[in-house]
Structure 1
């Protein structure tokens, strides 16, 4: 019988769209601004981001941020990118996820995830983390990293639940002292959901 951990590890990829058991990760649109303020307008989300991000005050400011993200993503090579996180049952926007090149050389890829506060504690961040890691691995990446501020205990706990291993502390990224976690392809157990081909199968 499948338990919650089995459910959270099932992933389906269709081009740049990522689906898990409870989530859909899709590309951002500036039309998402109003709903996204609930995520990045919350200090307990924005304060932990690296690089640092100010709390977004309103939907107009969020639209400008999304515009920058969308333009940035147009220049990135897959699998790098940013995604909106929706609940699959309702389509409600609940967070954001990203795969981004880490400074200073842009060789290593960082995965990240943020959820609106009302959706904390449900395993959704772990599920999103598995989703973007699986997407990276199906695109041929061997390993991904998460960089977490030392006092961000929730972020550290989620990185560990995703299966990431602590590899040390560094100040070479973003001018901040950060904890570094790594996940290698062989350490992620995410059988695909039926009905879609993965990137590795030519989707």
Structure 2
């Protein structure tokens, strides 16, 4: 069961099917969808987004803590500005964290803030390491993982059937809260 997480400006909470209108601003944006891993097509409309959210909600019910998927909500506006994930990865039992923001929310530090909230949650639940996978050329994501304090591991093709840049974070790498 996904738990609610809080940071200075954000609330990370479980998705609901009623979030489709806000989520389409994230996953319906071509400039977001092109960088997703695993690869996911741009969501075409609110009805399709609702189906995706319902699938994620059902999958979350079977996740073991600390795994989860979160709607990232602005404390100031109460609106959905993005999504965040912490999901187990095969084949090696790693946990991958990720974040996606609607383009209008870019450049405000929300991705770093959401990433840090997820990492702190993961480590508080006993994980000793989390990874992030970045598509080559995604400069925004690469800059975010560096701001979070993640360490470059190298390129890999063992996840999501894609060639990706792998970063890792351990509890001692986190900046002070």
Tell me the TM-score normalised to structure 2 length. Answer: 0.97
SS in 2 for 1:122: coil
Distance 2:173 2:105 in 1: 27
**Unmatched segments (≥5 aa) in structure 1:** 1-14, 192-203
Distance 2:145 2:122 in 1: 16
SS in 2 for 1:147: strand
SS in 2 for 1:63: helix
Equivalent of residue 134 in structure 2, options 148, 154, 157:
148
Please identify the structure whose Cα radius of gyration is greater.
1
Distance 1:177 1:83 in 2: 26
User: Larger RCO: Structure 1 or Structure 2 (Cα < 8 Å, ≥ 6 residues apart)?
Assistant: 1
C-alpha displacement of 1:63: 0.4
C-alpha displacement of 1:190: 4.2
Equivalent of residue 117 in structure 1, options 99, 103, 109:
103
Equivalent of residue 102 in structure 1, options 81, 89, 108:
89
Tell me the TM-score normalised to structure 1 length. Answer: 0.85
Contact 2:12 2:72 (C-alpha < 8 Å) held by counterparts: yes
Cα deviation, 1:122-152, whole Å, max 9, x if unaligned, reads: 1110000001000101101011000010111
RMSD of equivalent CA atoms: 1.0
Cα deviation, 1:66-115, whole Å, max 9, x if unaligned, reads: 0110111111101001000000122111000000011224x100000000
C-alpha displacement of 1:16: 1.1
Asked if 1:77 is matched to 2:64, the reply is yes
62 and 190 in structure 1: CA distance in 2 versus 1, 3 angstrom threshold: farther
Contact 1:147 1:179 (C-alpha < 8 Å) held by counterparts: yes
Aligned residues: 176
